[in-house]
Amino acid sequence: MAALRHSDIVGHVQLGRGGFGLTASKPMWRKASTSERRKMVVEEVRRQEEAQRTAKAVSLAKQGQWTRWEGLEKRKLDWRDLWGMEASNISFIIRATNDVLPSPKNLHQWYGEDPTCALCPTPATLKHILTGCKTSLTQGRYTWRHNQVLKRLAAVLESKRNAINSLPFKAITSITAPSAFIREGQKKPNNPPAKPEVGQLSMARDWKMLVDIGQRLIFPAEIAATTLRPDVVIWSPSLKSVYITELTVPWESSVEEAYERKKLRYTELAADAQQRGWKAKVYPMEVGCRGFVASSTIRLLKDLGIHGQALRQTIRSISEAAERSSQWIWMKRKDSCWAHRS
Ligand SMILES: [Zn+2]
């Protein structure tokens, strides 16, 4: 089945407060067969194109903003992804990506309504609601989203760490292993070469890991003394090697800025560790608040030996965590009380 590329899906702007047409037919979407769903998406895209042609009040400059984001991986949404999603989720991604959700600022532009944020006295763009509201920050809305993404990342890193630590130190060579079980007269099977261990973790078996979730992370004193609390620290005492990583869930066009800021924050700590004989690597990671995963995050995962299917699954999972949490923050934009989900 033909893939719907990111540009096909998110490049279409939905105007006004009408919203994604699929939202109204949510129960229908749930029951629809594959071909019916395909028809519905095509229909929706057509409808949006029409709306675009007839609307005059909305700035088209917004459309295609995402093509100028830097440091982010191209994102593919194919039919398979769409089938699994709720119509309201699809609607949110498309409209959030193009910044055409009915934020107070957009409603002001479209209908002259009050542009003020419901939580603080600032004009509320989508960017403000999702990443810049001081009240939201104080209430812990952004920390909650950050931790939702971090939990998924940490789970992947933890299972990688465990897998590496439980491997025999040297992969058994083909001379000593499977051929010993071949009976006489039996044909020797073509042993596939032992899968090479990839990733920088494969050099040791005593990896430890701390995550700044649940309980406050205290940086391992054997490496350096600091009050800084990175999100994840992975280290091997035998190798004297440490990975310091810090996750940010920024507005997509601020990804590079976030990267530089975090890199700078940990430079001194890395230098301290190096002075004590440790090899220290600082990995700032970003996952955009609308689900676009930064190249920096993928670099870390690959360096730690996460590839192929596992890498794709991880990207999808963290992207979904960011996007769903942002959708929740969006839905709660008018509630002065913050109640998060799990
Ligand atoms: Zn605000």
pLDDT (tens digit per residue) in 55-96? 433 344 455 555 566 677 766 565 666 666 777 888 888 788
How remote is the CA of residue 139 from the centroid of ligand 1, in Å? 11
How remote is the CA of residue 106 from the centroid of ligand 1, in Å? 15
How remote is the CA of residue 107 from the centroid of ligand 1, in Å? 15
How remote is the CA of residue 131 from the centroid of ligand 1, in Å? 9
Stated pTM of the model? 0.76
Average pLDDT rounded to a whole number, residues 19-47: 62
Please indicate whether residue 71 or residue 325 has the higher confidence score (pLDDT).
Answer: 325
Q: Residue 248's beta-bridge partner residues?
A: 286
Domain boundaries, the chain: 1-50+69-101, 143-166+199-320
What's the pLDDT score for residue 10?
44
Highest mean pLDDT: which range of 28-37, 50-59, 113-122, 171-180: 113-122
How remote is the CA of residue 121 from the centroid of ligand 1, in Å? 6
How remote is the CA of residue 253 from the centroid of ligand 1, in Å? 19
223: number of Cβ within 10 Å: 22
How remote is the CA of residue 329 from the centroid of ligand 1, in Å? 12
How remote is the CA of residue 251 from the centroid of ligand 1, in Å? 15
Give residue-wise pLDDT tens across range 267-284: 999 999 999 999 999 999
| Sheet strands side by side (includes 208-211) | 208-211, 232-236, 241-248, 279-286
